[in-house]
Amino acid sequence: MKSKFIFGVIISVILIVGNQLVIQRALNMKKQDSRLINLAGRQRMLSQKIALEFHKISINTSPGLVLKKYLFEWKIAHEKVLMDSVEINKSLSYLPKTSTGNNWIQDLSTKIKFIENEINSYKKTNTINLEAVDQNQDGFLLKMDSIVDHLVAYSDKKLTNIIILEIILACLSILVIFLEVRYIYYPQAQQLKNSLDVIQLKNKELEQFNYIASHDLKEPLRTVSNYVQIIKEDYSEKLNDDVNRHLNTIDKATERMSVLIKSLLDYSKLGKDRKPVLIDCNVLVNDVIADLFKLIETNKAQITINHLPILLAYETELRQVFQNLISNAIKFKKKDSVPEIKIGYINNKTTHEFYVSDNGIGIEPKHFDRIFHMFQRLNKSQDFEGHGIGLANCKKIIEIHGGELWVESEFGKGSTFKFTIQKSL
Ligand code: ADP
């Protein structure tokens, strides 16, 4: 698929460059032709002026400076034509040879030379062959006109060819674009869509499995727990201490398992059948702090809250995020230190960004990803209570809000948990 894509790009680039070259060539040709046509016009004008001057001579005036000046300009214009002759001769090469066997430009030179000679001979002999001058003059003009006519016709023909070439190139470009879309981009988009559909289906299946498994596990667990209670209540006096201790261990384990199953069930229900509502985050965070009053008081935690926004979000879920982050910030405090917690907000262009920072035990960078996975804990249960579920829940909730959750931390110095919520929720 990748090689097809590269091939498609190369063909497109070749077509674009080819098109540019053809356009450039057409412009160059036009420039060259119009240059010669301009020169021809100038030659025409000069030669008429020269003719007029010669007729003045016939009324008995000597060939003066004006005539010499026109003749001089006439020759300069002709030399310009000759200077361009490589290109111009290419354009004129299809013209038939003149009767003298010269090419057309040389033939014009001969006629100019003749008139120059006439002027020079007039100086010596005081006579002039006006008829011959006239003929040369007319011959020159006729030749010039026919060169221009031929040139215009030739230029038109060349341009028509170029236009046809351009049309062919444009059709080829359209065809290549069509083929690229049909055989490269469309299959890629289709493949991507199929993969997305499969992922979505697998996700749904997983959630369903999670829901059913945790739901069905609850019943047998409750039965075990009930029977342990019955045995403890009715038979504890008849059983020896060892059996009673074992029963207590079973009881605690079932209790723990029950919490885990409930968490799994809650996780699968997150964000389901809910609608985002407008929430004043200042009120919401203060409510959370009121709920955590006991924990805050026991640990003498100091909490600073900056001004928070009013935004659209899933209320119960967002409350859960703040509750988890704030309670973790208190729970994972350093021994014999007072937890200092800051809650704040950054107004980004497309997202609302929140942070909860603490001065607690901190997290090593290698664990930054791991802590957001289900049942992942970095510390022993004896040191810090917990089940490793809170951050996984937070992650899922933030994803439902189209945002991201991440941690920045220095081990032993404290952590800052940051999350974003899409403004366009
Ligand atoms: P729990 O708090 O129940 O252990 P969480 O999912 O909330 O589960 O957190 C996962 C792990 O991430 C914790 O066990 C702890 O190791 C680490 N952690 C979370 N918050 C903090 C914090 N503020 N400071 C240091 N470590 C933290």
CA of 37 to the centre of ligand 1 (A): 86
Whether residue 323 has its Cβ less than 6 Å from ligand 1: no
Whether residue 390 has its Cβ less than 6 Å from ligand 1: yes
Pick the more confident residue, 231 or 62.
231
For residue 274, the model assigns a pLDDT of 79
Whether residue 271 has its Cβ less than 6 Å from ligand 1: no
CA of 321 to the centre of ligand 1 (A): 13
378-403 tens-digit pLDDT: 988 778 888 899 999 999 999 999 99
315-368 tens-digit pLDDT: 999 999 999 999 999 999 999 899 999 999 999 999 999 999 999 999 999 999
Whether residue 268 has its Cβ less than 6 Å from ligand 1: no
141-163 tens-digit pLDDT: 887 777 777 777 777 787 888 88
Cα 33 to Cα 152: distance, rounded to the nearest angstrom: 8
Which residue's CA lies nearest to atom 21 of ligand 1? 328
Cα 9 to Cα 236: distance, rounded to the nearest angstrom: 81
Whether residue 329 has its Cβ less than 6 Å from ligand 1: yes
Cα 358 to Cα 325: distance, rounded to the nearest angstrom: 10
Cα 187 to Cα 206: distance, rounded to the nearest angstrom: 28
251-310 tens-digit pLDDT: 999 998 888 888 888 888 787 777 899 999 999 999 999 999 999 999 999 999 999 999
Average pLDDT over residues 231-245: 89
Look up the pTM and report it: 0.60
CA of 378 to the centre of ligand 1 (A): 7
Reported as a pLDDT band with limits 50, 70 and 90, residue 237 is confident
Reported as a pLDDT band with limits 50, 70 and 90, residue 97 is low
- Tokens 């991201």 — which residue? 404
Q: Would the pLDDT of 69 be above 90?
A: no
Mutate to test the pocket of ligand 1, among 323, 332, 343 (most ligand atoms within 8 A of CB): 332
For residue 88, the model assigns a pLDDT of 61
For residue 64, the model assigns a pLDDT of 61
Mean pLDDT is lowest, of 117-121, 188-192, 349-353, for 117-121
Cα 195 to Cα 324: distance, rounded to the nearest angstrom: 34
CA of 111 to the centre of ligand 1 (A): 103
Mean pLDDT is lowest, of 4-8, 165-169, 178-182, for 4-8
For residue 98, the model assigns a pLDDT of 55
Residue (of 138, 133, 111) closest to 122 by Cα position: 133
Cα 356 to Cα 415: distance, rounded to the nearest angstrom: 8
Beta bridge partners, 342, equal 304, 357
Inter-residue contact 89 to 105 (CB < 8 Å):
yes
Whether residue 355 has its Cβ less than 6 Å from ligand 1: no
Q: Would the pLDDT of 413 be above 90?
A: yes
CA distances from 113 to 63, 100, 105, 390 (A): 16, 15, 13, 104
Helices (H), 181-239: 186-235
Whether residue 359 has its Cβ less than 6 Å from ligand 1: no
Whether residue 407 has its Cβ less than 6 Å from ligand 1: no
Q: Average model confidence (pLDDT) for the chain?
A: 85
Average pLDDT over residues 61-74: 72
